[in-house]
């Protein structure tokens, strides 16, 4: 996309009041991970009200994920560690979500496949992270990205987790997210090979 996605532009504005507090980008990343892990842990309980609160916390964590980068840019506190930490935090958050969903629905209609699907999603999250880091190394930082259109990225679909869970559609969402994670992993793999051919 030519412009940053809508959520990143919103984060660019909302992060400004945090600048005078002395909060560092890496501290912001840690806060995001804590929210994501807490959300995933509550989702793993598998029933209301825990799963509802967990879905909200996870969606909030994914929005807050934009704050660390914006805070780093606006305060001039970018760092190599922060760059890698952000990648690992994002992958760990998604892995925790898939594991949480897998545990939540192991006694549902998915049965044992719930754990398998959760594991596939978690592996895809870490595999995509490793490939994306290599893409950035070869083609320039920030070039891996997500496919996007009209101000939205593929990743922005995660914000729907909260209303979907509240409406009781968590298991179908889990199946769709698992398939989506696999497809994104394949897209990243294709992008990885394309960058390698060019470089």
pLDDT in tens, the chain (199 residues): 557 788 889 999 999 999 999 999 999 999 999 999 999 999 999 999 999 999 999 999 999 999 999 999 999 999 999 999 999 999 999 999 999 999 999 988 888 899 999 999 999 999 999 998 988 887 765 555 556 565 677 677 788 899 999 999 999 989 988 888 888 888 889 888 988 888 6
pLDDT at residue 4 in the model: 78
Question: Rounded to whole angstroms, what are the CA distances from 129 to 26, 66, 103, 136, 182?
Answer: 18, 17, 23, 10, 13
Contacts of 175 (CB under 8 A, 6+ apart): 110, 117
Structure tokens, 15: 């992060």
Give CA–CA dist 66/174, Å, rounded. Answer: 24
Per DSSP (E only), the strands in the chain are 148-149, 152-153
Give CA–CA dist 168/23, Å, rounded. Answer: 37
Whether 39 and 55 have beta carbons less than 8 Å apart is answered as yes
Whether 66 and 8 have beta carbons less than 8 Å apart is answered as yes
Pick the CATH number of 6-198 from 3.20.19.10, 3.40.50.300, 3.40.640.10, 1.20.120.1760: 1.20.120.1760
Give CA–CA dist 68/177, Å, rounded. Answer: 25
């Amino acid at each position: 996309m030519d412009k940053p996605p809508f959520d990143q532009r919103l984060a660019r504005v909302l992060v400004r009041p945090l600048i005078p507090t002395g909060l560092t980008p890496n501290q912001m990343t840690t806060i995001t991970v804590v929210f994501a892990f807490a959300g995933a842990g509550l989702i793993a309980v598998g029933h209301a009200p825990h799963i509802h609160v967990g879905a909200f916390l996870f969606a909030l964590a994914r929005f807050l994920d934009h704050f660390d980068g914006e805070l780093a840019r606006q305060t001039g506190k970018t760092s190599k560690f922060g760059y890698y930490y952000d990648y690992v935090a994002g992958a760990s958050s998604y892995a925790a979500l898939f594991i949480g969903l897998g545990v939540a629905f192991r006694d549902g209609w998915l049965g044992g496949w719930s754990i398998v699907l959760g594991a596939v999603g978690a592996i895809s999250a870490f595999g995509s992270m490793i490939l994306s880091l290599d893409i950035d190394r070869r083609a320039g930082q920030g070039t891996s990205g997500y496919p996007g259109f009209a101000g939205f990225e593929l990743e922005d679909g995660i914000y729907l987790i909260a209303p979907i869970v509240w409406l009781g559609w968590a298991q179908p969402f889990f199946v769709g997210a698992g398939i989506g994670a696999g497809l994104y992993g394949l897209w990243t793999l294709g992008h990885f090979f394309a960058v390698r051919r060019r470089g």
